[in-house]
Structure 1
Amino acid sequence: MSRNIVAILRGIQPSEAEELARVLIDCGITKIEVPLNSPDPFSSIRHMARSFGAHALIGAGTVLTTDDVKRVQDVGGELIVSPDCNPEVIAATKQVGMLSYPGVMTPTECFAALRAGADGLKIFPGSLIGPEGIKAIRAVLPAGTEVLAVGGAGPDNFADWKAAGADGFGIGSALYKPGLTASDVRERATHIVAEYDLVFG
């Protein structure tokens, strides 16, 4: 099955990139973002995209400028995730054929993102509005809008978010943080995927 889980590898080093991408893909997580406030993020994205671009959706998170969109494209990324709703970043992403997931939290931001061409909405921080907040916003969004809960969503509460209308999740520190080994990440990813499959299977 295709799992709507985006692995957020904040703080990853380029030397880890290929091994961790392989582990995640083996476990069934095929959407991976490297936040741009990680060490040398464009090198990590390049390594992952070169080795696994045919098998996974690789891209960047914490994308704040149109220049960064171009740099991600240049190293082979296909996914742009932001913590905010910047119509210029969304437009630049779509102009080069990449997927755009801006961060939003209010109905105003949601509709601004969709009007600018966003492929889906990253509800962030999800912990602030919770499943009830997503449920309320989902009621006014166009049918078929993809909604990802990011920040506060994890295997212990996947069912609550799904019941509220979330289509998927961005998972950060519950999956990876600096200092974890590939074996640690495999163990965490296996658990997350198993819980996701129970809820969405």
Structure 2
Amino acid sequence: MTTESLNYQVAFKSLPLVAILRGVKPDEVISIAQTLFNEGYRFIEVPLNSPDALVSITKLVDTFGDKAWVGAGTVTSMKQLDDVIETGARLIVTPNTNPAIINKAVNAGCVVMPGAMTVTEAFSAIDAGAEIVKLFPGEMLTPSVVKALRAVLPANIMCIPVGGISADAEQMKGYLSAGANGFGLGSGLYRPGISSEQITLTAKEYVASWQNASEQMNTAN
């Protein structure tokens, strides 16, 4: 295991919440990311279907590249991957399982979170080098489904449901009990036009929900 890999795993276990800033604009991305960073978030993605996404990602890399894992979401082609890697980003998130993209991103030193919905897709992602599997869409992958997937996936592989995750300790606890390791947070955390006050409040609510769910899990065990 490389030092880089160890560092990201330590950060992920500390607060395994991935902030998805879909629709964010370059002129606001740093202030929003700073708010999230202050609350402990260390994984921040800008989906490529956001306005001038590469500009936002470049700004994030310049500001947080040495202290957080920032990069792109909705990466679906090799051209997109190349463009993101050129920014210096270290986080690649995909909605699907594309072994070629996963492998190239891993070899470039990125933390890769490929989307998977089935056992076959999850193992394809793992075989390509992924250490974190994005279980997507989360609305369809209930805790019972996650439990079934977790039963056959390698224990060292981390799983994060993405889609429909609320700042709700009971919901999080249900997924954690099923074997999830963290969560990707989309519109529940950030949506275009949200005020700085609201994102601060929401960021805190998600952290508190995660901590509450984790404490309940630890007590139960």
- State the TM-score, normalizing by the size of structure 1: 0.97
Listed as ranges, the gaps of 5+ residues in structure 2 are: 1-12, 216-221
Counterpart in the other structure of 2:96: 84
Counterpart in the other structure of 2:142: 130
Would the aligned equivalents of 1:104 and 1:123 in 2 still touch at CA under 8 Å?
A: yes
Name the structure, 1 or 2, with higher relative contact order (CA <8 Å, separation 6+). Answer: 1
Counterpart in the other structure of 2:188: 174
Listed as ranges, the gaps of 5+ residues in structure 1 are: none
Task: Give, in angstroms, the shift of residue 119 of structure 1.
Answer: 2.1
Output the CA distance in 2 between the equivalents of 1:135 and 1:73: 34
Task: Give, in angstroms, the shift of residue 184 of structure 1.
Answer: 1.2
Would the aligned equivalents of 1:153 and 1:161 in 2 still touch at CA under 8 Å?
A: no
Q: 2:178 aligns with which of 141, 164, 169?
A: 164
Counterpart in the other structure of 1:200: 214
- Give the residue type in structure 2 aligned to 1:4: P
Output the CA distance in 2 between the equivalents of 1:30 and 1:78: 12
Task: Give, in angstroms, the shift of residue 34 of structure 1.
Answer: 0.3
The residue matched to 1:180 in structure 2 has which SS? coil
The residue matched to 1:143 in structure 2 has which SS? coil
Output the CA distance in 2 between the equivalents of 1:191 and 1:25: 14
Q: In the TM superposition, what whole-angstrom CA distance separates every residue of 1:152-185 from its partner, at most 9, and x where no partner exists? A: 2222211111111100000010110001022211
Counterpart in the other structure of 1:151: 163
Paired residue total: 201
Would the aligned equivalents of 1:7 and 1:171 in 2 still touch at CA under 8 Å?
A: yes
Output the CA distance in 2 between the equivalents of 1:52 and 1:120: 21
- State the TM-score, normalizing by the size of structure 2: 0.88
Task: Give, in angstroms, the shift of residue 94 of structure 1.
Answer: 1.4
Matched, 1:101 2:113: yes
Q: In the TM superposition, what whole-angstrom CA distance separates every residue of 1:111-133 from its partner, at most 9, and x where no partner exists? A: 11111111210000011021110
Matched, 1:60 2:62: no
Q: 1:141 aligns with which of 149, 153, 169?
A: 153
Q: 1:47 aligns with which of 59, 78, 98?
A: 59
Counterpart in the other structure of 2:219: none
Task: Give, in angstroms, the shift of residue 95 of structure 1.
Answer: 2.0
